[in-house]
Chains A and B, each alone.
Chain A
Amino acid sequence: MKLKQPIALVVLAVAVAASLGAGWLAHHSYADQSREFISAPPSAEFWLGTDELGRDRFARLLYGTRVSLLLAPAAALLSTLIAALIGGAAGFLGGRWERIVTAGVDLFLSLPWLFLLLAVRALLPLNTPPVTSVTITFLLLGCLGWAAPARIIRAGTRTLVNSDYLVQASASGISRWRLFWRHLLPNLRPILLAQFWISVPVFILSEANLGLLGLGVSEPLPSWGAMLRELENYSTVLRNPWMLAPAVLLVVVVSCLQLLLRTEESAPC
């Protein structure tokens, strides 16, 4: 049991390092098209073969990993910040504000997440430049994923607000602003961190689903979701099993993240 956490950490560290060192590890750029090597099998030149446009799959996998592993945490950070602001303020202020926010969160949670994401994504142009599409996709994930963490942060804040040390601090005449920033927020850190780590795999999976549906990161920029689209052709996958590499890497990375989360949850306080 104790081995699981270090193994997961090592796997994640290797994935992050490989994605950051994509420029050195891959022989080609993710967008380079070698017309003479269309759908080529793995070789010394192309470790995972090439796709139907002659692009190096290994390079695309590494750059795609970079996109997912760097931007999913960024989106998670954004959603946690929004959740901390909304949930924290509701729990701290209490009364009417808390009721309004709770009702809003309940309402937001009843809207199906992927349907909402599609509706907002459809508002934006589909033929955006790749970098803009990456930013839009992860910004949307961050902006729409705040409701569940906000509910937990509100409950955590409420518990803290009623704790002895905060009541004492409040009684000693500290301003509400200082109470919030100096005494409440630092003690909310464990909850915020947990919510952040919970959101990361959720956003990685959401991007993968969106990418597979053609609504995520646009070409030629690679992402795990976009690379999974190749798997739709079963007979091709059967002939070229190395095409499964993005799916395998995605499952391994998300499993490692979840393993770390579970270890964190079960750790004695």
Chain B
Amino acid sequence: MLASGLLIQVSRQVRRIALTVLLGGLLGATLVRLGPGFGVDERELDSRLSAESQQAIRSQRARDNNIASFYFRYLAGLVHGDFGFSQSLNRPVSELLKERLPLTVVSLGYGVLGGISIGLALALLTVWWHAPGADIVPAVLSGLCLASPAAVIALVFLWLGPWIGEASRWAITLVVFPHVYRYAKNQLVATSQSPHVVAAQARGLSSWRVLWAHVFTPAAPQLAALAGISVSLAFGASIPIEVICDTPGIGQLAWRAALDRDLPLLVTITVLVALMTLVVNSLADIALALCAPSEGAAWNPRAAE
């Protein structure tokens, strides 16, 4: 029963990802077509080219005028790892991605892990130490981080750069942490007020044991969903943070592409980032279904029916 539910869940996630790639690819191709400069080739202005050469260039480009074939070739290219050609950097997009993606992934990995760890630790501490005003410091800190643009957080870490090392990782950590802290705190507080926790406390269990075994563990599946949200947040924040910290990653590449209006590059990055976010979200959903099948059923409409 659980295996079939899980299979349905996995197939739903795979369908969702495939649909995103398809629609994202179509949307991207449309944006590229609508973008300024589409259908214009600066080689036509090269006076050294003969009339025959210019005609050859025009006929080579003419196949892009057919919308259906353009979309088809664009999607086929995506499937085969051909992400197009960056006009501004004069290099294949796949090459640029290969260079810059690892840096962003590492930076995001540290940032997300740091943000989740700090957020969860502070939430646990707040719930455990339930004295009046115990949450003032984390609440103020999270409020400040939530009220600051990611770019300003990056600036602060850039100024502190010599003392703290990789500024972009710290900045992403501080972008992710307040969201994790607030959600986790609410979840843990709600769980800590449930009857089984009161019963555990009444039986004289130590506060740490109650917190770990009876508050944190039951709330863990819901907290797993934070991984997906955190990755999405971190990707969004990576643009201003990488630009400010001068980190040569995907975010900085997207910003350059936007300034140079290099739509093939920008659209490919957007679709790729959406895909990565979806994969992480899907993994979190599947993990949730594995850890708590009842939770999985709650958000799986078929199972709920």
Chain A residues close to B by CB (< 8 Å)? 103, 106-107, 110-116, 118-123, 125-126, 201, 205, 208-209, 212-215, 225, 228, 231-232, 234, 237, 247, 250-252, 254-255, 258-259
Contacts and interface: CB of A to CB of B under 8 A. Distances in A.
B152 interface: yes
A258 B182 CA distance: 13
B236 A250 contact: no
B240 A212 contact: yes
Given A110-B232, A118-B255, A123-B261, 10 more contacts: A107-B19, A110-B281, A112-B273, A112-B274, A208-B149, A228-B149, A232-B244, A234-B158, A255-B147, A259-B143
A119 B36 contact: no
Contact of B31 (A119, A208, A214, A250): A119
Nearest to A207: B149
Interface stretch (B114-122, B188-196, B202-210, B262-270): B262-270
A118 B147 contact: no
B239 A118 contact: yes
A228 B151 contact: yes
B147 A258 contact: yes
A115 B270 contact: yes
A118 B152 contact: no
B236 A112 contact: yes
Nearest to B151: A212
17 contacts: A110-B232, A111-B274, A114-B240, A115-B254, A120-B31, A123-B36, A208-B152, A209-B151, A212-B151, A212-B244, A213-B255, A213-B258, A234-B159, A247-B152, A251-B144, A254-B148, A255-B147
Interface in B220-258: 232, 235-237, 239-240, 243-244, 254-255, 257-258
A126 B261 contact: yes
B146 A213 contact: no
B20 interface: yes
A255 B144 contact: yes
A255 B35 CA distance: 38
B107 interface: no
A208 B237 CA distance: 12
Given A115-B235, A118-B255, A213-B240, A110 B278 contact: yes
A115 B269 contact: yes
B277 A112 contact: yes
Contact of A112 (B151, B235, B244, B255): B235
Contact of A209 (B19, B146, B240): B240
A209 B149 contact: yes
B23 interface: yes
B111 interface: no
B267 A119 contact: yes
Nearest to B149: A208
Contacts of A231: 152, 155
A106 B149 contact: no
A211 to B, nearest CB: 9
B150 interface: yes
Nearest to A208: B149
B254 A110 contact: no
Contacts of A237: 159
Nearest to B160: A234
Interface string B152-165: 10010011000000
**Residue in A103, A112, A113, A123 whose Cβ sees the most chain B Cβ within 10 Å:** A112
B24 interface: yes
Nearest to A113: B236
Contact of B270 (A116, A228, A255): A116
A118 B263 contact: no
Contact of B149 (A103, A119, A212, A234): A212
B147 A254 contact: yes
A201 B258 contact: no
Contacts of A111: 24, 270, 274
A159 B23 CA distance: 30
